[in-house]
Structure 1
Amino acid sequence: MAGFKIRFLLTISTLLSIVNANKLVFIDPNDRWQVFEGWGTSLCWFANALGGFPDIRNQAADLVFDISKGLGLNVIRYNIGGGDDPSHHHMRIGGDVPGFLPCENCDYDWTSDANQRWFLFAAKDRGADIFEAYSNSPPYWMTNSGCSAGGSNFADNLNFTYYDAFANYLTDVVEWYSLEGITFRTLDPFNEPTLRAWNVNGSQEGCSFNDCSAMNTIIRKVGDSLYFKGLLGNTSVSFADENTIDQEFFTISCIENNVMSYVSQYNTHAYGGALRGELHDISKLDGKRLWMSESGFTASEEMSASIELSKQILNDMRNLKPVAWVYWQVIEHIQPGIDWGLIGADFSNSSTSLDIRLAYYGFLQYTRFIRPGYQIISSNDEDTLAAYDAINKTLVLVCTNKNNISEVWNINVTMFDIGLFSAYRTSNNNEKLTLLPNTWFIIDGIINYESPANSITTWVFNLKLH
């Protein structure tokens, strides 16, 4: 009778907490979504600057790529620099990435791009295992404007007489790296091709491709070049890194079926757009891997930057359902207005210490715990991302309170046989991936949790083995 009374009281307590809760979160392991490949970053433009700073580059590499010391990013996007006219001096600091072929009749200079190459191999040494190469612009001498920042009045800039040379250049770089120990699984010849943002004498490399026939021709030539060099078995084409999800959806529709055989992966940036579900569906129908290959946010020491980052991850991972999620560049040059770095650095001064922002820890709430091979599973709550590791019997929930008041969350894990569990939090309350005291109980399969305002909490549950 005493046991029944205790059980009855616990049940009443649970019911009262449910009634008073702001959030009722249910996790369903039978509704399985994407199997996750990993978190990533682009190496440009920070690697081109910091790779030449021996005093801080190892610390930077640890913070970004090492799972025990940092974010553990395993997906790396390497920019094959076109290289601008050496008489030009208009690129942003770090943006003047050297190319490997400085002129039409030159030999390849494989000593070029040493700084970015240092970070590429540093990432591999620290556990990165998925590598993609992409192009922002052809070499300047292949362009119509004579400038790798873009065409005159934002016009398409690859001269049609150099289509073959451009494809050969990209695949030659991929081939050379394969001999050096880096296999690029994918190669994307475009970056935001229809954005109309790439103008002569701009601050970074860029090239417009607004003509569908041009994009079809380039994909075909790049694919053919990979095939003839014996690279196609290890490297395929990704496409098209459009600025918005909606533009990616529409650009895909203009690619011819016979060209699509070379394409294994759709890359989309997420700076706008609403067609997440539609893009996911078309990628699944076409049998293509889907990445969110670039997004970024204005840096801030406030928790608001972490919340914005988390909201983007939640929206993308739950609705777009990509298998990889890639931040633009984790480290950024410290400058007012256009500093998007989770880590701030002075690209002109190697003695300046790295500035680790609070948003870095917001990202860490995801990257430290949801690892490659985890399967994203259903949660009925838009502010929760759930992932399950079947091998190690681990359930991870990342829960974001994006409001300015505390909330009571009831997290229903009745579908799991929970053993030990722990919680980590980042907030404005001097918490940076802070391990929280273990003061919670699972009562009738529910955890009752008061979430502080503007906070991210990660729950790690170890399931019982039977």
Structure 2
Amino acid sequence: MMLRTILLAGLLLCCLHNNAQSTSDIIFVFNTKKTHQTIDNFAASDAWSCQFVGSWPAAKKNEIADWLFSMDTAANGTPKGIGLSMWRNNLGAGTAQQGNESGIRDEWRRAVSFLEANGTYNFNNAAGQQWFLTAAKQRGVAKFLAFVNSPNVQFTKNKKAYAEKGISNLDSTQYQNFAKDICQSLEGLRKKTGITFDYISPVNEPQWDWSDGGQEGTPYSNKEVSALTKVLGNTLTAQKLSTKILLAEAGMITYLFADNDKPGRGNQVHDFMEASSPLYVGNLTSVAPVLCAHSYFTTSPFAKSIELRKQLAAKIDSINGLSYWQSEYCILGDNHGEINGNKRDTGMTAALYLARVIHTDLAVANAAAWQWWLAISPYDYKDGLIYIDKNKADGNYCDSKMLWVFGNYSRFVRPGMKRIELASSITDSSLLASAYIDQKQKTIVAVIINSSKEKRNINIQGLSTNKKKAQMETYTTDATRKLTKQTTTGAVTIDPQSVTTLVIHL
């Protein structure tokens, strides 16, 4: 490819890789003429801590909200927050009202519903979650998603929010009541907060049994998901709600394109989105042209994670107009010895692993959205962007490098930007990069992950046609920095074990 055809007048990044024994050039070639998915959002979930943190002292919860949602900057240009572009709100099944009778052992995993036991609705419930909804809106978050782990306990077979014997806890005779409850909750929240929810996700990881009382949840077969979706779609239409149904929050990405170990719960792209399927719902106006899955159990080993994401991308691409969203992830399990989900890690080890997962989901699976699980966690686990004391009224809190590394993407790769082709002369997975373009703003964003212990110096050439060097900023997260800004028109250094966002103004 001739340099003059690359990035307007030609864009070439020459990366000088220094080490003790040799010096070699690493070339990144950006091709703005080859575009991939359009980015829709980066998000995280309010489950389950926001129900409590939303009533913490104002100064503390406001700083937490700033970290998550703010696009403001400090005087030195350093970002105040990671600028999430969507917020996921949990519509609870009423286990908080049930208390110990719910069978959910951990009180912090119980969730409140607006529907009370006497059949009335109380939209003063979930006040803490509503505080975060409002805080997100005030800080510029434009999109909102409501998700349901279990139908309200009033509608389930066992009057609990977890299932028995690995079968759905919702009888088909209750689909309409479940759908009406969702619509009532969405409309009540709109009146209370002014927020119209863009999406409703009515099922969560339907492949799992959800029978241990660890949290709210219920399994579904694809046949049941399809039937429920049709009822909910008709109800949304009848209620004149614009909210779109988002399917299907698969427990692993493989369930979108294969049956694996869950016959009747896999092959969800075919079952829901191919017109030849008897379970087809892709033609419903209330169903978003999106399928969602979670990246759990498929991120290691690295070569396998790439292979699976290529298969997923090919399957999604086989359906005209269909997009893929990675809708939930935290570091779970032992990941073939690469990293273990147990124990908090607020440093760069977990953050670099997270960055690698985001990269592969965006650059290989073509995810148009990437969403984290617990925005705020009280647990000794690698599941939080922000960590808190397990205290309902007040407590200590701290950020993590996972928060800021997520921000290397969420703050700079904005909705509407397109991923562009980025070819590299290095195939070593210790240096990963993806690039995105904002055509209106004439800006290119590259996110570069250097997980090695060596520095990479990048020389920028040929950025403009008027012989002036393009203005660039870097925002680096590493052991000592959190999206720290530097401005340059020359060489850029990618430090060891860091994630750097390079913003190029053309």
Separation (CA, whole Å) in 1 of partners of 2:394 and 2:15: 58
1:71-110 → structure 2 map (5 Å cutoff): 71-84=82-95, 85-86=98-99, 87-88=101-102, 90-103=104-117, 106-110=119-123
Change (3 A) 1:115 1:22: same
Question: What stretches of structure 2 of length at least 5 have no aligned partner?
Answer: 1-13, 73-79, 258-266, 273-277, 299-304, 332-340
1:183 match: 196
| Partner residue, 1:50 | 53
CA distance in 2, matches of 1:408, 1:372: 29
Instruction: Find the counterpart in structure 2 of residue 153 from structure 1.
Output: 165
Q: Confirm or deny: 8 A CA contact 2:293 2:328 kept in the other structure.
A: yes
In the other structure, the counterpart of 1:117 is 130
Say whether residues 1:219 and 2:229 are aligned partners: yes
Shift of 1:89: 5.6
**2:458 and 2:57 mapped to 1: Cα distance?**
49
SS in 1 for 2:421: strand
Q: Cα distance 1:89–1:54, how it changes in 2: closer, same or farther (>3 A)?
A: farther
Q: Where does residue 362 of structure 1 map in the other structure?
A: 405
Q: Give me the whole-angstrom Cα distance separating, in 1, the residues matched to 2:455 and 2:128.
A: 47
Question: What is the one-letter code of the residue matched to 2:253?
Answer: I
1:30-45 pair list within 5 angstroms: 30-45=33-48
CA RMSD of aligned residues (A): 2.5
- Give 2:483's aligned residue: 433
State which drifts further: 452-461 or 221-230: 452-461
The Cα of 1:15 is off from its aligned counterpart by: 11
Q: Is the 1:28–1:415 Cα contact (8 Å) retained in structure 2?
A: no
TM-score by length of 1: 0.86
User: CA 1:212–1:460 in structure 2 vs 1: closer, same or farther (change >3 Å)?
Assistant: closer
Cα distance between partner residues in 2 of 1:15 and 1:312: 23
Instruction: Give the distance between the partners of 1:416 and 1:293, measured in 2 at CA.
Output: 38
For 2:353, the equivalent position in structure 1 comes to: 308
Question: Separation in 2 of the partners of 1:411 and 1:204?
Answer: 51
* Alpha carbons 2:52, 2:392 under 8 Å: kept: no
5+ residue gaps, structure 1: 1-13, 442-446
Match of 2:3 in 1: none
Query: Residue 307 of structure 1: SS of its match in structure 2?
Result: helix
Q: Is the 8 A contact 1:22 1:407 kept in 2?
A: no
In the alignment, the residues of structure 2 paired with residue 296 and residue 411 of structure 1 have an alpha-carbon distance, to the nearest angstrom, of 35
Does the CA contact (< 8 Å) of 1:48 and 1:95 recur in 2?
no
Give yes or no for contact 1:365–1:433 (8 Å, CA) kept in 2: yes
Report sequence identity in percent: 26
CA deviation map 1:345-367 (0-9, x unaligned) = 12315442321122222222222
The question of whether the paired residues in 2 share the 8 Å contact of 1:292 and 1:316 is answered with yes
Aligned-pair distance for 1:93? 4.2
1:123 is paired with a residue whose SS is: helix
Q: Distance in 2 between matches of 1:15 and 1:452?
A: 12
- What does residue 206 of structure 2 align with? 193
Q: 1:259 and 1:108, CA in 2 relative to 1: closer, same or farther beyond 3 A? A: same
1:23 and 1:407 in contact (8 A); partners too: no
Q: CA deviation at 1:163?
A: 1.6
Q: Within the alignment, does 1:230 sit opposite 2:240 as a pair? A: yes
Amino acid of the structure 1 residue aligned with 2:188: W
Shift of 1:178: 3.5
Q: Distance in 1 between matches of 2:103 and 2:464?
A: 59
Q: Where do residues 133-152 of structure 1 align in structure 2 (5 Å cutoff)? A: 133-148=146-161, 150-152=162-164
Conserved 8 A contact 1:407-1:451: yes
- Change over 3 Å in CA distance of 1:413–1:222 after alignment to 2: farther
**Counterpart amino acid of 1:80?**
L
- Using a 3 Å threshold, how does the CA distance of structure 1 residues 17 and 431 change in structure 2: closer, same or farther? closer
Output the amino acid matched with 1:246: T
SS at match of 2:483: strand
- TM-score, normalization: structure 2? 0.79
Residue 204 in structure 1 maps to residue 215 in structure 2: yes
Residue 251 of structure 1: which of 268, 289, 292 is its match?
268
Please tell me whether the aligned partners of residues 222 and 279 of structure 2 are also in contact (alpha carbons under 8 angstroms).
Answer: no
Change (3 A) 1:131 1:281: farther
Moved more, 411-420 or 33-42: 411-420
Match of 1:261 among 255, 274, 283: 283
Q: Secondary structure at 2:281's aligned position in 1? A: helix
- The letter for the 2-side match of 1:400 is I
Name 2:67's counterpart in structure 1.
Answer: 63
Judge which range, 361-370 or 280-289, deviates more. 280-289
What is the CA-CA distance between 1:272 and the residue it aligns to?
3.3
1:291-319 CA-to-partner distances (Å, cap 9, x unmatched) read 21111124413311111111011101101
- How much does 1:16 deviate? 8.8
Given that residues 166 and 208 in structure 2 are in contact (C-alpha distance below 8 angstroms), is that contact kept between their aligned partners in structure 1? no
Which whole-Å CA distance do the structure 2 matches of 1:58 and 1:356 have between them? 13
Please give the alpha-carbon distance, in whole angstroms, between the structure 1 residues aligned to 2:168 and 2:454: 51
Conserved? CA contact 1:24–1:409, under 8 Å: no
Question: 1:208 is matched by which residue type in structure 2?
Answer: P
Residues 301 and 237 of structure 1: CA distance in aligned 2, closer, same or farther (over 3 Å) = closer
- Aligned equivalent of 1:3: none
Quick check: 1:292–1:326 contact (8 Å CA) kept in 2? yes
Contact between 1:309 and 1:359, CA under 8 Å: does it hold in 2? yes
SS at match of 1:145: coil
Indicate if the aligned counterparts of 2:350 and 2:382 stay in contact, CA closer than 8 A.
Answer: no
Task: Tell me how far 1:112 sits from its aligned partner.
Answer: 1.7
Partner SS, residue 57 of structure 1: helix
Corresponding residue of 2:443: 394
Residue identity opposite 1:34 in structure 2: Q
Following the alignment from structure 2 to structure 1, what is the Cα–Cα distance between the partners of residues 312 and 484? 36
Distance, in Å, in 2 between the alignment partners of 1:137 and 1:44 is 13
Q: Could you say what secondary structure the match of 1:290 adopts? A: strand
Of the three residues 364, 367, 377, the one matched with 1:322 is: 367
Asked whether the 8 Å contact 1:78–1:132 carries over to 2, the reply is: yes
For 1:57 and 1:293, locate their aligned partners in 2 and report how far apart those are by CA, in whole Å. 25
